[in-house]
Amino acid sequence: MKISVKAPAKINLSLDVLHKRKDGYHEVEMVMTTIDLADRIELTSVDQNEITIDSSGGYVPFDERNLAYQAADLIKKKFNRREGVRISIDKQIPVSAGLAGGSSDAAATLKGLNQLWDLGLSPEELATLGAEIGSDVSFCVYGGTALASGRGEIIRQIPSPPPCWVVLAKPSIGVSTADVYRMLNIDDVEHPDTQAMLKAIEEKDYDKICASLGNVLESVTLEQHQEVRHIKEQMQRLGAEGVLMSGSGPTVFGLTIYESRAQRIYNGLRGFCNEVYMVRMLGDTE
């Protein structure tokens, strides 16, 4: 028995950090939406009681450090499954990029195993399981567009933004999410207006969405990495109507409703950045 599941990347239209909690996590408010850049996860049930991982490209761990492995392990333990699973990851989402690639692979594995092993779990139950793996996994279970709060695991689904082009550029630098949070000074940073973003999306007002883009982590990464600043400036110069860094970075995305402009931004960035993608915003759950 074999099953194939799509694992789309996400971008943050807004990301705010409210405060550090007693449990060490940060209280966040994030508006997230899925884009048409996806890994494909193939799950094959096997008789031997083991989880194996193989992946086509991008550096990802093949052992229990892989978030898809952790998802399968969690399901196996919770539901006492004696069979194993082979997980093949066709990796299209850049790794450590701020696009939740690993979290989406984990969510796709949870959804796929739910089907493959006929577990009958609801999306809510899968999202609760997902939160045990990582804060972004719950959102990835639902996909579409949502406001994520708490440490990122409390999901309120919202309407999709109007469709547009998304050009993504990832500079070849590594950014550690933990370091970015450590360097963030919550009291001395410009916070995005989450409510304005939610209202703009509800009204399907593309211009207001672009005007309300904001990521509290951006200032930290911009200060550390000149490359990210440079990509932002180039995207703006090439005519993107909205530009923002996603998650803790370093990927920067530019939004435009015009295909020709998206192509121009894509071509312009290809000149000095190896990893550039031109995709559509998905917005809706599939």
97 scored as a contact of ligand ATP (CB under 6 A):
yes
**One of 3, 99, 116, 133 touching ligand ATP (CB under 6 A):** 99
For 284, residues 6+ apart whose C-beta sits below 8 A from its C-beta are: 144, 145, 160
The amino acid sitting at 48 is Q
Q: Is the CB of 136 or the CB of 241 nearer to ligand ATP?
A: 136
Task: Transcribe 53-108 into DSSP letters.
Answer: EEESSS---SSTTSHHHHHHHHHHHHTT--SEEEEEEE--SPTTSSS-HHHHHHHH
Pick from 103, 114, 138, 221: which binds ligand ATP (CB under 6 A)? Answer: 103
Q: How far is the CB of 176 from ligand ATP (least distance, A)?
A: 9
221/256 with CB nearer ligand ATP = 221
248 lines the binding site for ligand ATP (CB under 6 A): yes
Min separation Cβ 100 and ligand ATP, Å: 4
Active site residue 10: yes
Residue 171 vs 247, nearer CB to ligand ATP: 247
Residues 174-203 that bind ligand ATP (CB under 6 A): 177
DSSP-derived pairing of the beta strands 26-46 and 2-20: antiparallel
**CA 247 vs CA 11, 35, 114, 215, 217: distances in Å:** 7, 14, 28, 8, 7
Given 102, 112, 214, 283, the residue binding ligand ATP (CB under 6 A): 102
Question: 38, 67, 231, 235: which one contacts ligand ATP (CB under 6 A)?
Answer: 67
Instruction: Give kind and range of the element (H or E) at residue 166.
Output: strand 165-170
Strands 275-280 and 165-170: antiparallel
- Tell me, rounded to whole angstroms, the distance of Cα 192 from its chain centroid: 19
Distance CA 211, CA 17 (A): 19
| Residue 47 a catalytic site member | no
Q: Is 228 in the site for ligand ATP (CB under 6 A)?
A: no
**For ligand ATP, which is the closer residue by CB, 136 or 218?**
136
Stretch that binds ligand ATP, among 21-29, 100-108, 211-219, 271-279 (CB under 6 A): 100-108
Comparing CB distances to ligand ATP, the nearer of 168 and 197 is 168
Pick from 72, 74, 100, 180 the residue near ligand ATP by CB under 6 A: 100
Residues 6 or more apart from 222 whose CB is under 8 A from it? 228, 229, 232, 245
In the block, tokens 């194996």 appear at 52
Q: Residue numbers of the site for ligand ATP (CB under 6 A)?
A: 60-61, 65-68, 89, 95-103, 105, 136, 177, 247-248
Known catalytic residues are 10, 136
